[in-house]
Structure 1
Amino acid sequence: MAHNDHSGDTEPRVHDLRSALQVLGDLPGELVQTSVEVDPHAELSGVYRYVGAGGTCSRPTRRGGPAMIFNKVKGFPDFRVAIGLLGSRKRVGKLLNCEPKKLGFLLKDAVLNPIPPVTVGKEKAQCQEVVHLATEPGFDLRTLLPAPTNTEEDAGPYVTMGLCYAADPETGEHDVTIHRLCVQSKDELSMWLTPGRHIDAFRQKAEAAGKPLPISVSIGVDPAIYVAACFEPPTTPLGFDELNVAGALRDKAVELSNCLTVNARAIAHAEIVIEGELLPIVRVREDQNTDTGKAMPEFPGYTGEAKDAIPVIKVKAITHRRNPILQTTVGPGEEHVNMAGIPTEASILQMVERAMPGKLLNVYAHNSGGGKLLAVMQFKKSAPVDEGRQRQAALLAFSSFPELKHVILVDEDVDIFDTDDVLWAMQTRYQGDVSHVAIPGVRCHPLDPSQIPEYSPSILEQGASCKTIFDCTVPFKLKHHFERSKFKEVDVRRFLPDFVPDEI
């Protein structure tokens, strides 16, 4: 596993949002800033759509563009806003000190070597340098935080990079996850929890007992925490605190601080923390303030429907660092691909390696599927007995990440991170009648808009999907017919000294 250049209690080079921005600022082309005033209502996301959102955003957009800081936000003179830190795989590699193509392996190893978080004293709680209590006159989420509205149709301002941290009311075990949080009033956030999320299981237990669930929302943290938080079951089952993975990535425990108004903990170095309680019984219509019928842009590239009745966080306090930086993201951008996709890759690698060691060479949770819906798997057949095992590996991938919809299988000579190469394999190593495996009627991700009965007779109710394997590997007995043209190996730098090959 790749590590940062530190040991013991030494502070990692990247240990919070500000140190991450410093690292990116020292790298050519990885961070840009503007001091032109920007409106957080639709304009901020509209700007970054062009600069570097990528992902499944409507074109034109730029893949691999720089992260960006807005130094002047309309109506919020004390805040800056940062966006796109994890918006390119190359940048994630720099922030995690790992070769971009090996990030899945880094995350896989981190799950196997957990370092639990620790609670620190108030003197180390940087997130509490400034405190706003909901009981104070004039307290209002809408004027305290520059939460952006992604589009003009959104249900309202959204906290898109809020790490929700709560405990099981029965066992005390913790979970950290990112959820869709919409500002609804001066002291309320709506929270959409997709089915199966562990914090929702905690909420349901508290609600059954008629009690609120204390929760913290940490915004603007070490990028390692954001990536680690996006693991899902079965790799991180109920009761597994993903902050253990973030600790492993830094060889140093994540530091937590006790909240001031609720019985919960938050990430001590966070730029901003929202303290509150998930209320029992109470539900709210997500677009009650706009009546647009829309929520916000989501990872498949479409704007999600506003939900009719979702849980509410009653906010008790907002705390933040001095000169705070709100971190946000564009819903369909490549930032989501990396946060969701790299843990997906790690989960698939772990599951397949256990079943057939050494056969799966790498996995890419592809950009076009938002890091969730499509995986490209590089499989090596070494003997006739391996024929068919590539499809077993695909079935294991579906088991390791239930929201996965499509798998493309390719041989070891295909660069899975180069879409042109993957599509080349499909054109020359795929026959639809024999290379295609369809598994209808399986639950997938609820945000895929094609998962409706009107789309296919195999879909009996919304949310089911046809999972599909595209086997673009050459049958082992025919491998000698499919050898790529072999060019002479040369040192290009002898001819072009400044030549740098593409990383991804």
Structure 2
Amino acid sequence: MREFIETMRKAGLVVDVREPVSVDMQAAKMAAGTEKLLFFHNLEGHRAVMNLTASRTSLSLALGIEEAKFVKTLADAKFDGTVTESGTLPMQKPDLSKIPIMHHFPKDAGKYLTSAIVFSRWDGVENASIHRMQVLDDHRVAARLVEGRHTHVMLKNALAKGEKLPIAVTIGTHPAVTFASCTRVPTGMELPFAAELMGGELNVKRCSNGVLVPDAEIVLEGFITAELTEEGPFVDITGTYDPIRMQHVIEFTGMYTKPDFIYHGILPGGDEHKMLMGAPYEPKIFKAVAGVTVVKNVVLTKGGCGYLHAVVQIRKSTQGDAKNAIMAAFAAHTSLKHVVVVDEDIDPCNPHEVEYAIATRVTGDRDIMVITGVRGSSLDPCQLEDGTNVKVGVDATMVLGREADFSRATW
């Protein structure tokens, strides 16, 4: 992570904050006002960063991929990097009070770890994913484990055998590892994918409970237990409060920190949260749309919470291609709510361009698809009690054969 911070600094994308800053909402408010990386030199006596990858530019720098080729390159990933084990980590007694964990919003249930990657290991398979964690005391947290996701499935398998699930948590990890942990990859391939993104190889160390972890500023090892406790409320991707749920307790048994560690916090509902939620789905949508037409780019927009709205750029060869692209996008990312398909001359990253396409190339009764009674995102406040929602697809492309009528004046 430190090497990446210096890369960002050379690109003029780091703001050094040298005055004392509080973990009680002050740092969160500051991060909400910029896309630049904030480097806190005195976050209640510690160093910390926020907005590590809060923009497409910073994420492209982190992964070493040209911004214009970002989605296409990731869509071609092979998940074939080499993971090399080299030694073990020296652990000490865990003490979460030594870490500048933040309280982000007034109605949050307390302090939360938001950038923590959970590496879990069961039956020879290792998974990596990010889970928010509410601090309970100096060695326990309550983790939001989405039902049916890999960590939750592994936990259920462990508990069914009367055992706790071994895990290790990293904070302050290279953004490529964080991105890989946010991506839906073949089972157990998060670390090989991270290795691929980092040039082909990734070194890891083994914790005393058997879990492998990459280089990080902070590592916490322990177990997810059968114990349940209230978790929440907490702000999620839409900027609205997630409700209180009964969630599993993680007990930490060991802790490692670099002597001068740099803490990494992600602002809930902020730009980095949106990038890490949405960007990993863009290659998946790209590949799905490529099966029905020529796709040029896919963007999950920040205005759509980085998760609910997609703009798909295509090159049409038949008049129905845009509608096929809409259906493919919905199938690839079932949490999508609205999809807009545009032509090659429209920049999908520019909301003004996309709105222009909707204004000048959409005839409502012909170009808008409304699909009712389908499963959407549990994060959407509009979701009905039965878990269903309404999806809308917008064909904002030119009518084939009439391109001259839509051509924009240029110099």
| Same-fold status (TM-score > 0.5) | yes
4+ residue runs over 3 A deviation = none
Task: Report what 1:440 is aligned to.
Answer: 372
CA distance in 1, matches of 2:303, 2:43: 31
1:158-193 alpha-carbon deviations (Å, 9 max, x no partner)? 1110111112x34x2221111111111222111112
Indicate whether 1:303 and 2:241 are aligned.
Answer: yes
Task: Indicate whether 1:475 and 2:399 are aligned.
Answer: yes
* CA apart distance, 1:319: 0.8
Aligned partners of 1:103 and 1:342 also within 8 Å: no
Shift of 1:284: 0.3
Cα deviation, residue 272, structure 1: 0.4
2:343 is aligned with 1:411? yes
Structure 1 unaligned regions, length at least 5: 1-16, 53-64, 135-139, 288-293, 454-460, 488-504
| Alignment equivalent of 1:279, drawn from 225, 234, 238 | 225
**SS at structure 1 position matched to 2:303:** helix
Query: Rg bigger for which structure?
Result: 1
1:375 aligns with 2:310: yes
Aligned pair 1:153/2:100, yes or no?
Answer: no
Deviation at 1:98, TM superposition (A): 2.4
Checking the alignment, whether the CA contact within 8 Å between 2:139 and 2:252 is kept in structure 1 is: yes
Deviation at 1:396, TM superposition (A): 1.4
CA contact (8 A) 1:227 1:338 kept: no
Per the alignment, residue 31 of structure 2 pairs with 48
Q: Which residue of 2 aligns with 1:395?
A: 327
Letter in 2 for 1:483: S
Asked if 1:259 corresponds to 2:196, the answer is no
Secondary structure of 2:49's match? strand
CA distance in 2, matches of 1:26, 1:32: 12
Out of 40, 44, 50, the position equivalent to 1:70 is 40
CA–CA distance in structure 2, aligned partners of residues 196 and 375 of structure 1: 24
- The secondary structure found in structure 1 opposite 2:173 is coil
In the alignment, structure 1 residue 38 sits paired with structure 2 residue 31: no
User: Superposed, which structure 2 residues align to 1:237-248 within 5 Å?
Assistant: 237=186, 239-248=187-196
Spell out, residue by residue over 1:254-305, the C-alpha distance to the aligned partner (whole angstroms, 9 max, x if none): 2221113x232222x100011110112x100115xxxxxx22x211121222
Report how far residue 484 of structure 1 moved: 1.6
Match of 1:325? 262
Residue among 28, 50, 64 paired with 1:83: 50
Aligned to 2:66: 99
| Structure 1 residue 113 displacement after superposition | 4.7
Matches within 5 A, 1:211-222: 211-222=163-174
1: CA distance between counterparts of 2:365 and 2:345? 24
Distance of 2:391 and 2:190 partners within structure 1? 28
Shift of 1:439: 1.6
| Residue identity opposite 1:146 in structure 2 | P
**Deviation of the 1:69 alpha carbon:** 1.1
Among 98, 116, 120, the residue aligned to 1:162: 116
Partner of 1:484 in structure 2?
Answer: 408
Q: Aligned residues, how many? A: 411
Q: Measure the CA separation in 2 of the matches of 1:361 and 1:252.
A: 26
* C-alpha distance in 1 between matches for 2:391 and 2:375: 9
Q: How far, CA to CA, are the matches of 2:80 and 2:389 in structure 1?
A: 34
Which residue in the other structure is 2:182 paired with? 230
CA distance in 2, matches of 1:263, 1:445: 35
The answer to whether the 8 Å contact 1:344/1:371 transfers is no
TM-score (ref. length: structure 1):
0.78
Q: How far apart are 1:82 and its partner, in Å?
A: 0.6
Matched, 1:334 2:271: yes
Q: Deviations over 1:291-327 (max 9, x none)?
A: xxx22x21112122222x1111111111111100110
Please say if residues 436 and 471 of structure 1, whose CA atoms lie closer than 8 Å, have aligned partners that are also in contact: yes
Measure the CA separation in 2 of the matches of 1:207 and 1:441. Answer: 35
SS at match of 2:31: helix
- For 2:407 and 2:143, locate their aligned partners in 1 and report how far apart those are by CA, in whole Å: 52
Q: 1:250 aligns to what?
A: 198
Aligned equivalents of 2:375, 2:251: Cα separation in 1: 32
Q: Can you give the 5+ residue segments of structure 2 that lack an aligned partner in the other structure?
A: none
* 1:166–1:199 CA contact under 8 A, matched in 2: yes
Partner SS, residue 271 of structure 1:
strand
Q: Tell me, yes or no, if the aligned pair for 2:274 and 2:307 is still in contact at 8 Å.
A: yes
- Identity level (%): 27
> Aligned equivalents of 1:174 and 1:403: distance in 2?
26
Q: Specify the alignment match of 2:7 in structure 1.
A: 23
Partner amino acid, structure 2, of 1:283: L
State TM-score, norm by structure 2.
Answer: 0.95
Query: Does the 8 Å CA contact 2:292/2:328 hold for their aligned counterparts?
Result: no
Q: CA RMSD in A?
A: 1.7
Measured after TM superposition, the shift of residue 35 of structure 1 is 2.0
User: Is this contact kept in 2: 1:41–1:152, CA < 8 A?
Assistant: no
Separation in 1, partners of 2:230, 2:108: 13
Question: In the alignment, does 2:356 pair up with 1:424?
Answer: yes
1:466 has 2:411 as partner: no
Distance between the aligned counterparts of 2:147 and 2:354, measured in 1? 32
Secondary structure of 1:335's match? helix
Relative to structure 1, the CA distance from residue 117 to residue 467 in structure 2 (aligned partners, 3 Å threshold; closer, same or farther) is farther
* Structure 1 SS opposite 2:311: strand
In structure 1, give the amino acid aligned to 2:155: R
Higher mean Cα deviation, 174-183 or 438-447? Answer: 438-447
Report the 3-state secondary structure (helix = DSSP H, G, I; strand = E; otherwise coil) of the residue aligned with 2:364.
coil
Q: Which residue of 1 aligns with 2:137?
A: 185
Asked whether the equivalents of residues 107 and 342 of structure 1 are also in contact (C-alpha less than 8 Å), the reply is: no
